[in-house]
Chain A
């Protein structure tokens, strides 16, 4: 995916102000994403890296006032891409719920003898499926 880089941090030293040695004004593009880190020690599973983070992270312990980071803390590497995937999944689930409702209508109309309406309902189901298929096909390889 071709994302533009983050907006520059105002506190950070400006790379555009030419320092000694004339840097390229274009910030380098981020390297392609590969799972895990270049440092092997960071590739250990989270519960090995942070044994303090337990499944409940202290939520069940009455002595703990301020719980630390939750079980998934520190694992997200590309929040933008990841949240898009979550959004696609949420939309797809919503459409499927609509389909479940639509199927009850189709069965009802068919059993009541209204075949024409049942076929319209089937059209709705098929269109919904195409929408879900589209949501999936946006990027089938996304994680």
Chain B
């Protein structure tokens, strides 16, 4: 006796509905999964495309993104060697950090890690001359350039451009993105006709226009 032997067909009275349900079950058992899966994959793919459009059109906040040139702001009367200072610039939600290294170099960066947005700390005791350290996943940034030296962050830190007056007070005058030098960032925000910028003196509007369109 084998289990595959034909069994007497079900009595006809509830037969039709039961038969339909059975067919449904068979169809649902193994036959619909891949089609549904393909539809889900197509939906996910569309979501990713929409996400790309949203990102490129500016849904993500970048440090220092605001209308017009940022105002100049005094952040400290004095920063001693080996010290750091947390401040907010240019907006209230733009966390930033200013560092004075042992050799007197003054540098300012966004304090938001480019990996997953933890707070970046100044650690004077790490590395040969101190470094900017993200405790979340051991991300390490060079304090001189803001570039990534170790860990998972994908980009260097955006910069905050700091200047020091003769009396030792420190002022923030602008920002630069991860991919920019401080000068490029300054010129982007304040216009190219400033001293040191490519458009200075020439005053050519054409040059200004191309430069502007290259960097948002």
Query: Which residues in B have their C-beta under 8 angstroms from that of A95?
Result: 45
- Chain B 7-18 against A: per-residue CB contact (8 Å), 1 yes, 0 no? 101100000000
Q: What are 14 A-B residue pairs whose CB atoms fall within 8 Å in the complex?
A: A40-B9, A40-B10, A40-B19, A50-B4, A85-B34, A85-B35, A89-B37, A93-B41, A102-B52, A103-B52, A111-B114, A113-B178, A126-B49, A129-B49
* Alpha-carbon separation in the docked complex, A112 to B52 (Å): 15
Closest 7 CB pairs of A and B: A112-B179, A113-B177, A125-B52, A129-B49, A122-B52, A132-B45, A118-B56
Minimum C-beta distance from A114 to chain B (A)? 6
Beyond A129-B46, A136-B39, 12 extra complex contacts between A and B, CB < 8 Å: A39-B6, A40-B10, A40-B22, A41-B6, A110-B62, A112-B179, A122-B55, A122-B56, A129-B48, A136-B38, A140-B35, A143-B31
The answer to whether B49 touches A72 (Cβ under 8 A) is no
Q: Is A16 among interface residues, defined by CB-CB distance under 8 A?
A: no
Query: Which residues in B have their C-beta under 8 angstroms from that of A132?
Result: 41-42, 45-46
- 121-160 of chain B: CB within 8 A of chain A: 154-155
Minimum C-beta distance from A63 to chain B (A)? 21
Query: Which residues in B have their C-beta under 8 angstroms from that of A140?
Result: 35, 39
Interface of B is mostly: helix
Minimum C-beta distance from A125 to chain B (A)? 4
Query: Which residues in A have their C-beta under 8 angstroms from that of B48?
Result: 96, 99-100, 102-103, 125, 128-129
Minimum C-beta distance from B55 to chain A (A)? 5
Interface residues on B, range: 35 or more
The answer to whether A35 touches B31 (Cβ under 8 A) is yes
Selected contact of B34 from candidates A39, A89, A122, A125, CB within 8 Å: A89
Q: Is A55 among interface residues, defined by CB-CB distance under 8 A?
A: no
The answer to whether B45 touches A75 (Cβ under 8 A) is no
Selected contact of B29 from candidates A45, A128, A129, CB within 8 Å: A45
Q: Is B164 among interface residues, defined by CB-CB distance under 8 A?
A: no
The answer to whether A111 touches B155 (Cβ under 8 A) is yes
Q: Is B44 among interface residues, defined by CB-CB distance under 8 A?
A: yes
Minimum C-beta distance from A58 to chain B (A)? 16
Selected contact of B38 from candidates A85, A99, A104, CB within 8 Å: A85
- Chain A 112-143 against B: per-residue CB contact (8 Å), 1 yes, 0 no? 11111011011011101100110110001111
Minimum C-beta distance from B57 to chain A (A)? 8
Minimum C-beta distance from A2 to chain B (A)? 20
Query: Which residues in B have their C-beta under 8 angstroms from that of A110?
Result: 55-56, 58, 60, 62
* Alpha-carbon separation in the docked complex, A59 to B2 (Å): 23
Minimum C-beta distance from B99 to chain A (A)? 22
Query: Which residues in A have their C-beta under 8 angstroms from that of B46?
Result: 129, 132-133
